[in-house]
Amino acid sequence: MNDLTTTGEQTFSLAPRNLAEAMEFANIIAKSDMVPKDYVGKPGNVLVAVQTGAELGLKPMQSLQGISVINGRPGVWGDAMRALVISHPEFEDLQEDKQETQCTVTLKRRGRSPVVTTFTMEDAKKAGLAGKQGPWQTAPKRMLQMRAFAFAARDLFADALKGIKSIEELRDYPADERVERDITPAPAAAAVRTAQVAAPLPECTPEKFAENTPAWRDIVLSGKKTPAALVAMLSTKTILTEDQKLTIDSWAHEGE
């Protein structure tokens, strides 16, 4: 997995070049505690995330931070989706009108008519989202923004997103439609379980999360850690729910 720069210097790269390297990479990453908890012990999910990210133009570690596998279906975090759209060579402009009860997104692609989408709190109520525990309570404006942007992005930059949806949207599906499952083939999964000897991490209960929220929130707001870095650190000590991760992510956008 070593690459050469244009100057001839050898640099280290984790990007797999073939299936054998990809499988080796997935198994190594699945045994690490420095990746999101969703991938620990699940090389199949690692492989799907890395391959999905490669097709979208993301590097392996960007894929692991920006993609999650939900019920066998990969989704991309909202900030990663924005990065994919804004970095597209035909991206021209993005305007967002963020209000208390709605967000309107105007997205422009070179040579195309602008796409305008609006997601309102009334839409959220109809979908059973308004007031839902997690980001819909702590950062409703941010969630309205992410929904409106995702709809516009999929309409205008389908070639960049290739049908993938935002994780914020997938997480809002009813629980029986989004139960996560390990997609590692049975023999490989069994081998991983056999290799794991460490005791399972404790879950972060709602009470525990609420107790630590002031301190964790201050870490993000003070700039000591990004939400992703904080989640990665906490995931080595406890199991965070996806709603808790979204809540942590929303702290970085307070006041927007």
pLDDT tens digits, one per residue of 111-133: 999 999 999 999 999 888 888 88
- The rounded distance, in Å, linking the Cα atoms of 132 and 173 is 12
Q: Which of 14, 16, 65 is nearest to 167 (CA)?
A: 65
User: What pLDDT sits at residue 71?
Assistant: 65
Backbone angles phi, psi at 29, to 5 degrees: -65, -40
Q: Which residues are CB-neighbours of 17 under 8 A, at least 6 positions away?
A: 1
Q: 114, 105 in Cβ contact below 8 A? A: no
Using the structure block, give the residue that is written with the tokens 């709809």: 151
- The rounded distance, in Å, linking the Cα atoms of 47 and 186 is 15
* Structure-block tokens of residue 39: 């991938």
User: What pLDDT sits at residue 149?
Assistant: 94
Between 242-251 and 206-221, two packed helices, what is the crossing angle to 10 degrees?
Answer: 30
Does the structure show a pLDDT above 80 at 186?
no
Instruction: Return the amino acid letter for 45.
Output: N
Find the length of the chain: 256
Instruction: Return the amino acid letter for 213.
Output: T
Q: 35, 45 in Cβ contact below 8 A? A: no
Q: Which of 49, 36, 71, 37 is nearest to 174 (CA)?
A: 71
Q: 30, 192 in Cβ contact below 8 A? A: yes
Every domain of the chain and the residues it spans = 2-72, 80-176, 201-251
Q: How many other CB atoms are found less than 10 A from the CB of residue 230?
A: 21
User: What pLDDT sits at residue 235?
Assistant: 83
- The rounded distance, in Å, linking the Cα atoms of 113 and 129 is 31
Structure confidence by residue, pLDDT tens digits, 130-155: 888 888 888 899 999 999 999 999 99
3-state secondary structure at position 100: coil
Structure confidence by residue, pLDDT tens digits, 25-84: 889 989 988 888 878 888 988 888 888 888 888 888 888 888 887 766 778 888 889 999
- The rounded distance, in Å, linking the Cα atoms of 82 and 149 is 8
pTM of the model: 0.59
Structure confidence by residue, pLDDT tens digits, 193-205: 444 444 577 889 9
Q: 246, 134 in Cβ contact below 8 A? A: yes
User: What pLDDT sits at residue 78?
Assistant: 81
**With the C-alpha atoms ordered 158, 164, 168, 170, is the resulting torsion angle positive or negative?**
positive
Structure confidence by residue, pLDDT tens digits, 15-32: 677 778 888 888 998 998
Strand 165-166 relative to strand 67-70: parallel, antiparallel, unpaired? Answer: unpaired
Does the structure show a pLDDT above 90 at 13?
no
Stretch among 71-80, 153-162, 166-175 having the lowest mean pLDDT: 166-175
Does the structure show a pLDDT above 50 at 183?
no
User: What pLDDT sits at residue 24?
Assistant: 87
Structure confidence by residue, pLDDT tens digits, 217-248: 888 888 888 888 888 788 888 888 888 888 89
- The rounded distance, in Å, linking the Cα atoms of 86 and 129 is 27
